[in-house]
Structure 1
Amino acid sequence: MKLNVILTSTRPGRNGKPVADWFTDFARQNPAGFDIEFTDLAEVALPIIDEPNHPKAKKYQHEHTKKWSAIVDSSDAFVFVLPEYNYTMPPAFVNAVDYLYSEWNYKPAGFVSYGGVSGGLRSVQTAKTLLTTLNVMPINEQVTIPMVFNHLADGKFTAEKVHEDSAKLMIGELARWASALAVLR
């Protein structure tokens, strides 16, 4: 099974890259049966949706969409490294999700959220609503990082025990859900 860690912030100077690097390394050390892949939406570089056909048709015209489709389709589970922008999810995340339909279906998703005092929790709540419309199963277990800037130094994120414990629990739950949902895919 493949767990795809997707960094959703594309903003220059983003705090998410060190957080995503930490989580990806942690997941590779605690894979729970997964092969771990990392995807950075800044590198995927999807323009605002430019496909003429509805994503359900899978009649993609653009190479960037075909590449994105292959990334999502080959994944069995996702962890979205998700900041909070104005009490909601970042627009690059929404755009990336909206590009596709069936590639997302019947796969579980977890979250590593970060931000100020709320730790990105409001962003996760809105993301769950979006994902469930695509038959993605957002799990309850997640890693929440409030006051993320207190954990960043020299371009590195330093996790506390609570982050590591939460990450390990989430990865295990994602493995259970990915196995159970495989029969539906």
Structure 2
Amino acid sequence: MNILVLYGSYRRDRAGIRLARYAVAELTARGHKVELIDAQAVGLPMLDRMFKEYAPGEAPSNMANLAAKIRAAEAFVFVVGEYNWGMQPGLKNLTDHYLEEWFWRPAAILSYSAGRLAGARSSLVWHGTLSEMGMVVISSTIGVGQIGQALDEQGTPTGDGGAALARAFPRFAADLEWWGEAALAQRERRAPPY
């Protein structure tokens, strides 16, 4: 499958990027074509116009390139941190530039935090948001607390938290694969209703 892993922290010392890289490596090892979409690197402006609001060929090139990648993806993994009980603005801003591009594919949520709650509140908020954006959010979610201790700087699991992540990831990936294959088969069988 063609899978996008989306990450959105703009902070200088971004620990969550470790989890995003871990997801890319693990999904690639399972035979998928995986790309990390880092909101900071894409560099979209604060939302003024959605991609669909530009005339064909007039959207900024970084926005148009990402739109094509989203449309080509068969599944998404959102790696989400928690800011003040909510979602990171960088990733939310990136996602809001698009709408129909997300439709009819599954999304999975990996949450994290520096503390012990593992980004659970952000995960909850993202679940509703991704559903509203036209995706099926899989039931398998993973929360990684104390991210700096659970993954080293290369994204290798360490300690008890890392061991728990390594145990949980295969089921998470299998769930995403099942829904990705199901959605692809249904889209090939019948066009989406809108």
Q: With structure 2 as the length reference, what TM-score do the two structures score? A: 0.84
Deviation at 1:156, TM superposition (A): 3.1
Aligned residues: 180
- Long gaps (5+) in structure 1: none
Instruction: Please give the residue correspondences for 1:103-142 in structure 2 after superposition, counting only pairs within 5 Å.
Output: 103-115=101-113, 116-142=115-141
Instruction: Please give the residue correspondences for 1:145-184 in structure 2 after superposition, counting only pairs within 5 Å.
Output: 145-153=144-152, 155-159=153-157, 160-182=162-184, 183-184=186-187
Pick closer, same or farther for the CA change 1:130–1:58 going to 2, 3 Å.
farther
Q: Identity percentage over the alignment?
A: 24
Deviation at 1:58, TM superposition (A): 6.5
**Per-residue CA distance 1:84-141 (angstroms, 9 max, x = gap):** 1111110111111110111100111112211012101110110111111121111111
Give yes or no for contact 2:51–2:59 (8 Å, CA) kept in 1: no
Q: With structure 1 as the length reference, what TM-score do the two structures score? A: 0.88
Give yes or no for contact 1:142–1:166 (8 Å, CA) kept in 2: no
Deviation at 1:149, TM superposition (A): 2.1
Aligned CA RMSD, in angstroms, stands at: 1.9
Give yes or no for contact 1:30–1:168 (8 Å, CA) kept in 2: no
Deviation at 1:172, TM superposition (A): 0.9
Deviation at 1:55, TM superposition (A): 5.0
SS at match of 1:3: strand
Select the structure with the greater relative contact order (CA < 8 A; seq sep ≥ 6): 1
- Long gaps (5+) in structure 2: none
